[in-house]
């Protein structure tokens, strides 16, 4: 099934809602353990610095989970079972602790477009979409 039609680029979204979401300093460690996604750039500062990163970074999938959870709460009455498809492009790092800005555009036809900005104002997730019933 092809991806749903979403306005490109999401940088030009007609934003209906903006949410500021906190990113706790321990979130990468918690996510690593819960998701069983073990990559030391997310949990070991020395490894992250040796890889050229500014510090440990949040997993892209953790950023996605935070954003989609907020979309479900804000737009779908907290009912995650309504989501039938989702996606986005991981585009920039999220450091911890920090906050992200979630910009949501409710489209017709059971679609939501979104983007996530990191604390530096860069698109951490671009071209985001949620399809729901």
Inside any domain, residue 3: no
Q: What HEC string does 40-104 produce?
A: HHHCCHHHHHHCCCCCCECCHHHHHHHHHHHHHHHHCCCCHHHEEEEEEEECCCCECCEEEEEEE
Inside any domain, residue 39: yes
Inside any domain, residue 1: no
Answering whether pTM is above 0.75, one says yes
Inside any domain, residue 2: no
The predicted-structure confidence for 12-68, as pLDDT tens digits, reads as follows 778 999 999 999 999 999 999 999 999 999 999 999 999 999 999 999 999 999 999
Here the CATH number for the domain that contains residue 23 is: 3.10.129.10
The predicted-structure confidence for 109-129, as pLDDT tens digits, reads as follows 999 999 999 999 999 999 999
Number of domains in the chain: 1
Give the structural domain span for 61.
10-132
Burial bucket for residue 38 (CB in 10 Å: 0-12, 13-18, 19+) = exposed
Inside any domain, residue 115: yes
pLDDT of residue 13: 78
Inside any domain, residue 75: yes
pLDDT of residue 45: 97
Examine the pLDDT at 6 and tell me if it is beyond 70.
no
Inside any domain, residue 5: no
């Amino acid at each position: 099934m092809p991806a749903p039609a979403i306005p490109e680029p999401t940088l030009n979204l007609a934003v209906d809602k903006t949410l500021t979401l906190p990113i706790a300093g321990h979130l990468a460690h918690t996510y690593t353990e819960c998701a069983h996604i073990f990559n030391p750039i997310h949990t070991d500062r020395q490894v992250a610095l040796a890889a050229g990163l500014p510090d440990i970074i949040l997993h892209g999938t953790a950023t996605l989970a935070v954003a989609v959870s907020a979309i479900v709460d804000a737009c779908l009455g907290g009912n995650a079972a309504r989501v039938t498809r989702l996606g986005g492009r991981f585009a920039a790092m999220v450091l911890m602790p920090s906050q992200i800005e979630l910009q949501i555009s409710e489209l017709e036809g059971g679609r939501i477009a979104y983007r996530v900005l990191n604390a530096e104002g860069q698109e951490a997730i671009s071209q985001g979409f949620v399809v729901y019933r």
